[in-house]
Amino acid sequence: MNRIDAIRQIRERLCAGGHSIGSWMQIPHASVAEIMGQAGYDWVAVDLEHGAIAAHQLPDLFRALELGGTLPLARLAQGHSKDCKQALDAGAGGVIVPMIESAEQLIAVRDSCRWPPAGIRGVGFSRANLFGKHFDVYREEAQAPLLVAMIENFRAVEDLEHILEVDGLDALLIGPYDLSASMGLTARFDHPDFKAMMNRIRELAAQKNIASGVHVVQPAREELKQRLDEGYRFLAYSVDAVMLRSVAEGCLT
């Protein structure tokens, strides 16, 4: 696939007020990635935070996703420069960064994802540029990979207006479990205070024309539609392992 075109298409759609729907991978197997890549999602995030996936497995997982025309993203374990470099050099089209709590933190991650002159990421041959064969083409992509900030703590909401002003931010993705836990309301998604926090994030993002989204963990199309109707525009739909479990258990009922 042409990653830079896929990145550009997603970015343009979000800037125009449209939506993008992707999914999530935690199972470190290329056959699973190939299935997910053929499923019709805009992107699939390979989970390096909670999944049992190592850096050396990324090239094969990303190749399998790309076979189906699906943009591979990396959900980083942390926003350290090493994490950014390894994921992007392996061929990720962008990163989803957990636990962003300030504009300064996001700027540091952004710069670690970009080659100079836009950033400070180390330049070199890698799988992302086919070990130098597509170096000049990749040079443009490496100036601005897709950048998604996860909002997972009430402290992030306190600085959200500044976070939303960071140049290069493409979307927000709310982590509802961690966000609710930070409020002392773990998984109490119906609590009025949590609902108000979610609404505030979505409204502030809309004011800055930054797409906000949430992870619809259970494979429920009605919830996906509900989230779209509420105004969320960057959505992760379920997880490979959750989909498998859901179907496997459903066969017995």
Residues belonging to the active site: 50
Sequence-ordered alpha helix ranges (H) in the chain:
3-15, 30-37, 58-67, 81-89, 103-113, 135-141, 154-158, 160-163, 176-182, 192-207, 221-230, 240-250
Cβ–Cβ < 8 Å for 24, 238: yes
Nearest residue to 151 (alpha-carbon basis) of 115, 194, 114:
194
Nearest residue to 22 (alpha-carbon basis) of 47, 4, 2, 1:
47
SS3 92: coil
Half-sphere exposure of 144 (CA within 13 A, CB side): 12
